[in-house]
Structure 1
C-alpha cells in the first residue's frame, strides 16, 4: 500500500534570512523552498526536520497530513495577540496542545485516525485554507479552539472504556459566540479535525451570535493619536525594516483591550457537561435521520406518482385494436 505525506510551512510575520534558508534547505533536496514557504510531498521516506522546532524558531504556520489518517496544523502567534491563558481551557491530549516560546504562543491541532481505519487517497489540503485562522484568533475569535475541543469529544465518544461519570463531570470550555455560523477557514478546520456535525449543531445552540469584527475608526484614530511619539517612531521603523511582525494586528489587539471591545467567549450561558452535549447530539442525529427518511419517502412517492402518470399518458395515446368479424 503506497504511503503519501504532505508537509507545508509558511513564514507570515517575517521572511527567513539567508542563513535560515540554508538551514531549511539542508532538510530536503526536493522541496520547493522560498523565504516564506516550504512545500514537499513524500511517497516514501519521512521529513528529516523537527516540525516543532521549526515552528518555534522560523515559521508561523505548518500543515501535515498523510493518507493513513494523520493530520496536523500548527499556528504561531505573538502572546501579545493571544495569551496562553486564553487558549489553555480548550487544550486536550489528542486534539489541541499549546505552549509558549520566546514571546510566541504555539497551537498544535491534530487528528489521528483510529487503528484499522481505511486509508484516504482522495483528501487533499493546502495551508492557504487555514492561515486566516491565525488572524481570526489574533482578533479574539476563539471558535477554532472550541472546534478542536469538539473534535476531541467526537473521538472520546467512540472509546469503549470511558466511565459515564467522566462524561458527566467533564465540562465544556467557554463557548465562543457564533458557533452556528462558522467562517470558511473554520469550517475547513472542522472538516480537517473530523468534528461530528451533529455534535457541532448541539453545541452551537448554546452559543450567541457571531462576534462583531467591526472597528470604530474614529475611536481607533483617537487612540493612535494618544500613543507616545517615540512608540510610533519605533513601530514605523520596525515596519520599514521588517524587523518585527506586522504592527497592525498587535495594535488592534491593544486597542480592543484598552476599549474593552475584545471579543470574549460567552459566559452568560451555562457550560454544559460532555454527557449533556453527547445526549443533545444524539437527539440532533436522530432528528436528522428522521428528516432524511421522510425526504426519501416523499421522493419515492413522487417517483411513483410520476411513473403512474407516465403510464396513464401512454395508455391514452395507444389506439384500441379493432374487433375481428366472423366470416359469412
Structure 2
C-alpha cells in the first residue's frame, strides 16, 4: 500500500469568513474547504500547512491519521474555560502536550502504533470527538485521563535508561465517572487506541460521577445578575455585542454560578502497576472466555452423541447418493460425530462402525480420499 495521510479540521465555535477560506486555499488546491471544515487526503507528497498553527488561528478540532500508525487529535478550548495548570498533570512525553495562545488553550494528543493494523473508518472519528472541548470546558477531565492512558499504553521506550522513569510515573488525578465515559470520550479512547483492560483497571479508582448541574432558571439567575457591579455588566454586554468570543454564555454562567468542581481521586498508582494489572485482567478475561467456549463445545458434543443413530443414518444417506458434494457433507458429519463419541467415551465403537463404512464403500475412491484427508480411519 502506498503512503496515506488524512487531514481534517472543524470550526465549531464560529464559521470561517470567505477571506479566511481563501488564505487556507493557498495551502492546498485539492482540499475540500467550507466555512466549517477543511479535509484533504494524500497518497503521495505532504501537506504544506502546519496543523498546530491552523488550530491556533482558525479551527477548534483537528484529526490526522496515516497508514503507518499515527493517530493525532488537536483540540482547543477558549481561555478561561480550562487552565494549563489543570492540564499539566496529564501531559506525557510527546503523546499529550498542551500550550496557550492569546485566546485559547490547545491540546495535542497522539498515538503511534507502527505494528497496528489499518483501521477502516477511522477517518470518520473527528465528528464524534468534537464534543470533547465542551466537556473539558465544563470541568469534565475524563478525556485528559484517557489521553494519558493511551500514552502509557502505546509509548515506545527509546532506551533502557528511560524505562525505569517511565514505569515509575504516577498517574494524574483520576476523574469521576471513568467507568462510564460519554460518547465523545469513547470515540476519543477508540481513536487513541486506549486498551479496554487498562481503562477498566484505571476506572476502579474513579469516584462515582456526580449528578449533572441543573440548568439554572430565571428565579435563580435574576438576583445573581442584579448583584453584579455595573462595571461588570457593561463589560459583559460589550463583549456580547462585539461577538468576537466563542461560547460567551458558558463563561457568563460560570461567572455567576462559580466554577464547577471537578470530582477526582488522587493519582496513586504507577504506570507499571496499571499496565501489570491490565495484563492480569486480560489474562483472566481470556481464561473465562476459553472456559465458556469449552463448556459450550462440551454441551454441543453431548447433544450430538445423544443423536448418534440419526446422524449415522444421515451419513449413509449422503454416501449412497455417490455425489461429490454429498461426500463432503458426510465427511463433515463424521468429523463432528467422532469428536462427540470421543467426548462421551464411545470412541472405540465409533471407529469400529467407521471401519465397516469404509469396507462397505471401498469401491468409492472419492469418498475414501476425503476420509483419509480428515484422518477418518477405523
Give the TM interval when normalised to the shorter protein. Answer: 0.7 to 0.9
Q: Which residue of 2 aligns with 1:122?
A: 120
Q: Distance in 1 between matches of 2:296 and 2:20?
A: 61
Q: Distance in 1 between matches of 2:313 and 2:253?
A: 74
Deviation at 1:171, TM superposition (A): 0.8
Q: Which residue of 2 aligns with 1:249?
A: 250
Looking at CA atoms only, which structure, 1 or 2, has the larger radius of gyration?
Answer: 2
Deviation at 1:312, TM superposition (A): 5.2
Asked which structure has the greater RCO (Cα within 8 Å, sep 6+), the reply is 1
Q: Comparing both structures, which one devotes a greater share of its residues to helix?
A: 2
Structure 1 alignment gaps of length 5 or more: 319-328
- Greater mean alpha carbon deviation, residues 156-165 or residues 87-96: 156-165
Q: Distance in 2 between matches of 1:207 and 1:121?
A: 30
**Which secondary structure does the structure 2 equivalent of 1:107 belong to?**
strand
CA gap 1:101/1:225 in 2 versus in 1, 3 angstroms:
same
Q: Which residue of 1 aligns with 2:186?
A: 187
Q: Distance in 2 between matches of 1:65 and 1:146?
A: 21
**Which secondary structure does the structure 2 equivalent of 1:188 belong to?**
helix
Q: Is the 8 Å Cα contact of residues 95 and 155 (structure 2) preserved in structure 1?
A: no
Q: Which residue of 1 aligns with 2:13?
A: 13
Q: Which residue of 2 aligns with 1:105?
A: 105
Q: Distance in 1 between matches of 2:164 and 2:112?
A: 25
What CA deviation, in whole Å up to 9, does each residue of 1:214-238 have, x standing for no partner?
A: 2252445543443345655654565
Deviation at 1:251, TM superposition (A): 2.5
Q: Is the 8 Å Cα contact of residues 64 and 71 (structure 2) preserved in structure 1?
A: yes
Deviation at 1:276, TM superposition (A): 2.1
CA gap 1:231/1:36 in 2 versus in 1, 3 angstroms:
farther
Q: Distance in 1 between matches of 2:288 and 2:309?
A: 31
CA gap 1:163/1:8 in 2 versus in 1, 3 angstroms:
closer
Q: Which residue of 2 aligns with 1:325?
A: none
1:131 aligns with 2:139: no
1:24 aligns with 2:57: no
CA gap 1:208/1:314 in 2 versus in 1, 3 angstroms:
same
Q: Which residue of 1 aligns with 2:142?
A: 143
Q: Distance in 2 between matches of 1:298 and 1:202?
A: 27
- Greater mean alpha carbon deviation, residues 64-73 or residues 8-17: 8-17
Q: Distance in 2 between matches of 1:238 and 1:6?
A: 37
Q: Distance in 1 between matches of 2:52 and 2:68?
A: 21
- Greater mean alpha carbon deviation, residues 217-226 or residues 181-190: 217-226
Tell me which stretches of 4 or more aligned residues in structure 1 moved more than 6 Å. Answer: 157-160, 315-318
CA gap 1:232/1:12 in 2 versus in 1, 3 angstroms:
farther
- Greater mean alpha carbon deviation, residues 147-156 or residues 215-224: 215-224
Q: Is the 8 Å Cα contact of residues 10 and 38 (structure 1) preserved in structure 2?
A: yes
Q: Distance in 1 between matches of 2:11 and 2:73?
A: 14
Q: Distance in 2 between matches of 1:283 and 1:266?
A: 23
Q: Distance in 1 between matches of 2:28 and 2:21?
A: 11
Q: Distance in 2 between matches of 1:159 and 1:301?
A: 48
Q: Distance in 2 between matches of 1:241 and 1:312?
A: 86
**Which secondary structure does the structure 1 equivalent of 2:80 belong to?**
coil
Q: How many residues align?
A: 312
Deviation at 1:137, TM superposition (A): 0.5
CA gap 1:239/1:109 in 2 versus in 1, 3 angstroms:
same
Q: Distance in 2 between matches of 1:253 and 1:122?
A: 41
Q: Which residue of 2 aligns with 1:227?
A: 228
Q: Please, what is the CA RMSD of the aligned residues?
A: 2.7
Structure 2 alignment gaps of length 5 or more: 316-378
**Which secondary structure does the structure 2 equivalent of 1:217 belong to?**
coil
Q: Is the 8 Å Cα contact of residues 112 and 155 (structure 2) preserved in structure 1?
A: no
